[in-house]
Amino acid sequence: MNAVRGAGRALAALLLAASVLSAALLAPGSSPTPDLDRKRHVELKMDQALLLIHNELPGTNLTVYWSSERCYQCLLQVLVNVSWGGKPGKPSTAAVAVSTQHGSILQLNDTAQEKEVCRLEYKFGEFGNYSLFVKHTHDGVSEIACDLVVNEKPVDSNLPVCIAFLVGLALIIVLSFLRFLMSLEDFHNWISKAINTRETDRLINSGSAHPHGVCQLRRGEVLVLQACQLEWFVFIMGTSIFLSMTSILQRGCSKFRLLGKIVWRSFLLICIGIVIVNPNYCLGPLSWEKARIPGVLQRLGVTYFVVAVLELLFAKPVPESCASERSCFSLLDVTSSWPQWLFVLVLEGVWLALTFFLPVPGCPTGYLGPGGIGDLGKYPNCTGGAAGYIDRLLLGDDHLYQHPSPAVLYHTKVAYDPEGILGTINSILMAYLGVQAGKILLYYKDRTKGILIRFAVWGCFLGLISVALTKASENEGFIPVNKNLWSTSYVTTLSSSAFLILLVLYPIVDVKGLWTGTPFFYPGMNSILVYMGHEVFANYFPFQWRLGDSQSHREHLVQNIVATALWVLIAYVLYKKNVFWKI
């Protein structure tokens, strides 16, 4: 118990030191608010700049249109109207806030004639102050020039992230150096003489002990739990399904009993997910007529159920002999799973057929766009194409996510759920690619070269599929990478990255033991609890507090660093106390 407390204090001190140091370096400051802001009554928010448009064209009223460079084939939106001042030599001026997240496209038209006066593309900087002068050139009255001038330089909004990264990197270097010193016998003896030997053992054990006891993990399973902290949770969930199910079946558990556990776990995930995505505890009783049905945990529950049942039905014992069958040229890990792969590929065929051939009222067949002002505003109510239509048809608009991300950039008006029904098919595909990674680990265990070759081959193979589907472009491919749709190219791209990351992590973690996965290991051991805790308490102190300047990137970053450090600390304490919430 004393060792646990000592380790807990050491980790707590480390996390809090990182938070305090980051807070000191990223000390909140007031956002630049130029005098022109106050005069023009334009209150700048985060990721905005001030643009003053000076109309020096006699007798001409201007209409300024705007669009983001990230908005693909978007209909230009009216930004501001600038009328003529009526007096020669005294141009009229309009002040407007412009976005700084991406590059901006500005088009100025003669309001009366609807004729383009000038067009420019520019990347504004946060809290910068700019002037756009529209006037006739000196050479003649027929030529019009639009000159952009920087009145006040913007702030560097990326600086807080860079400082936080450097602070974290410095802490990692310091800890690695201290651990190296602790491994030296002379330094260890010197420390032993300086302080109590018992306390020295506590420090060493808390920093370098490999976790055992609660989870007796075999080779490969440690890697899986550590990789769970990455973005590819669905992929690694598939890996975990295969490793855990193989272990349980080898211990003699009946398939019928295991099926019951799979059904119960999936049911709990879906129920918990519905509770999490409908946080009406502060808004009064929840009305089922307005309850959102899809969600992250719901998709994980369905994906887990399909993949786990599929593996349970066609489970085969992992070969322990016949080393020649598991050489570098063997495909045993793939051929032994042909029924599962056939089922998954049929499901993918269903996704492709529904996506590209299902008639959607008022929309072109096979539409994959965002709707709204995209595609020059031709299909405003076609957000998500077949995926959105199926969700609205089967679940109803009121049971879907009401504030999808396309609404910000594309001004969409219809509900769309990024965790909808059709996208679940591709999450199953991604999970089964994770199963394939697990099979590589067990089928070729103790053959590091064979494992690494297969990780590399799968990573390159899926990467080539992504290149073919997207035509190596952002928007011009057959199936663009789209997270909201969970498109096939999105799955192949992330799965390719996952295999390549495993290619790097496997020798570091499992083979050489150079890294135990700390501190990501601890939240991974209680991932559902940490996820639910974050969703429920995200707006409560000490995870969030009132900021001095709510429009400051620095203050938001400090707050998020502290919240993340606290959740890692909570996960660490629970791990040391052997408290694990399993579903």
Give the pLDDT confidence of 198-254 residue by residue, as tens digits.
Answer: 433 333 333 333 333 333 333 333 333 333 354 578 999 999 999 999 989 888 888
38-42, 230-234, 285-289: lowest mean pLDDT where?
38-42
The pLDDT value recorded for residue 223 is 37
The pLDDT value recorded for residue 29 is 46
The pLDDT of residue 16 is above 70 = no
Separation of alpha carbons 415 and 405, rounded Å: 11
The pLDDT of residue 53 is above 90 = yes
Alpha carbon of residue 507 to chain centroid: 26
Burial label for 220, CB within 10 Å (0-12, 13-18, 19+), is buried
pLDDT digits (tens, 9 = 90+) for 427-463: 999 999 999 999 999 999 888 999 999 999 999 999 9
The pLDDT value recorded for residue 3 is 42
pLDDT digits (tens, 9 = 90+) for 170-193: 888 887 787 777 777 666 666 566
The pLDDT value recorded for residue 139 is 62
- Other Cβ atoms within 10 Å of 417 Cβ, number: 26
CA distances from 520 to 117, 225, 478, 529, 542 (A): 55, 9, 37, 14, 21
Average of per-residue pLDDT across 273-296: 82
pTM of the model: 0.84
> Amino acid identity, residue 267?
F
Q: In this structure, what token pair is assigned to residue 179?
A: 């651990």
| % of the chain at pLDDT higher than 70 | 81
Domain ranges of the chain: 48-158, 221-280+287-318+331-517, 518-582
Q: How confident is the model at residue 506 (pLDDT cuts 50, 70, 90)?
A: very high
For the chain, helix, strand, coil in percent to 5 are: 55, 10, 35
Pairing of strands 129-136, 48-55: parallel
The pLDDT of residue 196 is above 60 = no
CATH 3.30.9 at 48-158, yes or no:
no
Contacts of 236 (CB under 8 A, 6+ apart): 224, 227, 228, 230, 434, 498
- Name beta bridge partners: 99: 48
The pLDDT value recorded for residue 212 is 35
- Contact at 8 Å (CB) between 226 and 524? yes
The pLDDT of residue 77 is above 80 = yes
17-31, 240-254, 471-485, 506-520: lowest mean pLDDT where?
17-31
27-41, 42-56, 73-87, 233-247: lowest mean pLDDT where?
27-41
The pLDDT value recorded for residue 21 is 53
By three-state DSSP, how is residue 122 classified? strand
pLDDT digits (tens, 9 = 90+) for 537-552: 988 999 999 998 888 8
For the ranges 35-49, 75-89, 180-194, 329-343, the one whose mean pLDDT is highest: 329-343
Average of per-residue pLDDT across 274-281: 81
pLDDT digits (tens, 9 = 90+) for 341-385: 999 999 999 999 999 999 999 999 999 999 999 999 999 999 999
Q: How confident is the model at residue 322 (pLDDT cuts 50, 70, 90)?
A: low
The mean pLDDT value of the chain amounts to 83
Question: Which of 352, 368, 346, 347 has the alpha carbon at shortest distance from 302?
Answer: 347
Average of per-residue pLDDT across 72-92: 85
Q: In this structure, what token pair is assigned to residue 83?
A: 């009328």
Average of per-residue pLDDT across 50-66: 92
Report DSSP state, residue 280.
G
Alpha carbon of residue 404 to chain centroid: 15
Average of per-residue pLDDT across 572-579: 92
Question: Which of 487, 485, 359, 354 has the alpha carbon at shortest distance from 416?
Answer: 485
The pLDDT value recorded for residue 7 is 45
Q: In this structure, what token pair is assigned to residue 34?
A: 């130029």
Average of per-residue pLDDT across 95-113: 93
